[in-house]
């Protein structure tokens, strides 16, 4: 079977890419960010000095073939504490993973146990096993510390991000590097650029692995821009920023070329206050590299259909 590696943190990549590919006859591995420091995950990091488990939990759940009760248990939230982003309490899955790590002191072993419990089909790999945080340098040279402050900006969100880096520096997880080198296809994104995708490219050895792999490298460009991260971005802006951190060229970029109704965009933005506008489509994009189609759901959501994405990826 073809080996496909999907890379990105947050919610977007699992529900957009993994959801469509997991029902196909392919061998899947996912690589996720380990820079999350907000909400329940951030509190557990601070209290117990553990690795962030929020993004890992989402990847595990998406690839889980376990009975519904196990998935519902992992998503169950308890407690009254309010966290940034509007989350209330801790999710059972995040606490379970953090508790296992605190007890076993071995995150790889934790993933083995949790993958067995959730009956995960595929490999879920942290991009690094080092404890680190992401920092962003704004165009006015102000430094923003932590994923949560990039994700939900407390500064002027109209200021562009010049550079992102990890502090302290982190080594790439050897299992993730091995998966990149052995892949037939690598899918990057979609997701928040600086708080979800780029943290997966920054650990030492990751960009080098991308430069050495013979895999086809595909970026799934988001449909909408995000406040504080990608204001006024075009398809080409996203592409150039990804390639800058990769240190090599992408083979393909797929993006949504369908223009939804204004009322649908307005409604969706009302439900997602962090979104700004549709991603701009540049003139004269190289059609051999940039593939534009209607990737949206039919029901008016400004979100990608997993089946449409999977079909296009496998056709490549």
Domains defined along the chain, listed by start: 3-128+174-315 (3.40.50.10680)
Question: What average pLDDT does range 236-240 have in this prediction?
Answer: 98
Q: Are 185 and 2 in contact (CB under 8 A)?
A: yes
Residues 18-50: pLDDT tens digits? 999 999 999 999 999 999 988 888 889 988 999
Question: What average pLDDT does range 202-225 have in this prediction?
Answer: 97
**Per-residue pLDDT at 60:** 97
Confidence grade of residue 189 (pLDDT, cut at 50, 70, 90): very high
The pTM (predicted TM-score) of the whole model is 0.95
- Above 80 in pLDDT, residue 220? yes
């Amino acid at each position: 079977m073809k080996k496909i590696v999907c890379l990105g943190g947050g919610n977007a990549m699992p529900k957009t890419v993994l959801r469509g590919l997991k029902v196909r006859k392919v061998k899947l591995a996912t690589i996720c960010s380990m820079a999350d420091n907000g909400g329940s995950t951030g509190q557990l990091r601070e209290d117990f000095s553990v690795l962030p488990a929020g993004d890992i939990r989402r990847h595990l759940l998406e690839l889980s073939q376990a009975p519904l009760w196990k998935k519902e248990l992992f998503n169950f939230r308890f407690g009254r504490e309010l966290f940034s982003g509007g989350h209330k309490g801790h999710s059972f899955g995040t606490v379970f993973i953090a508790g296992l790590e605190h007890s076993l002191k071995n995150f790889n072993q934790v993933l083995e146990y949790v993958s067995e419990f959730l009956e995960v089909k595929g490999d879920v790999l942290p991009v690094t096993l080092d404890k680190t945080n992401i920092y962003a340098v704004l165009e006015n040279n102000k430094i923003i510390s932590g994923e949560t402050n990039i994700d939900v900006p407390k500064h002027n969100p109209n200021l562009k991000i010049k550079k992102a880096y990890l502090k302290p520096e982190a080594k790439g997880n050897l299992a993730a590097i091995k998966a990149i080198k052995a892949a037939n296809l690598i899918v990057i994104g979609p997701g928040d650029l600086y708080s979800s995708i780029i943290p997966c490219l920054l650990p030492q050895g990751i960009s080098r692995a991308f430069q050495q792999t013979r895999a086809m490298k595909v970026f799934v460009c988001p449909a909408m821009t995000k406040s504080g991260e990608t204001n006024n971005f075009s398809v080409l802006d996203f592409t150039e920023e990804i390639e800058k951190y990769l240190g090599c060229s992408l083979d393909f970029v797929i993006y949504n070329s369908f223009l939804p109704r204004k009322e649908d965009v307005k409604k969706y933005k009302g439900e997602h206050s962090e979104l700004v506008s549709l991603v701009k489509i540049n003139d004269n994009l190289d059609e051999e590299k940039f593939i534009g189609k209607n990737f949206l759901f039919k029901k008016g959501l400004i979100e990608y259909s997993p089946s449409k994405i999977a079909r296009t990826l496998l056709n490549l």
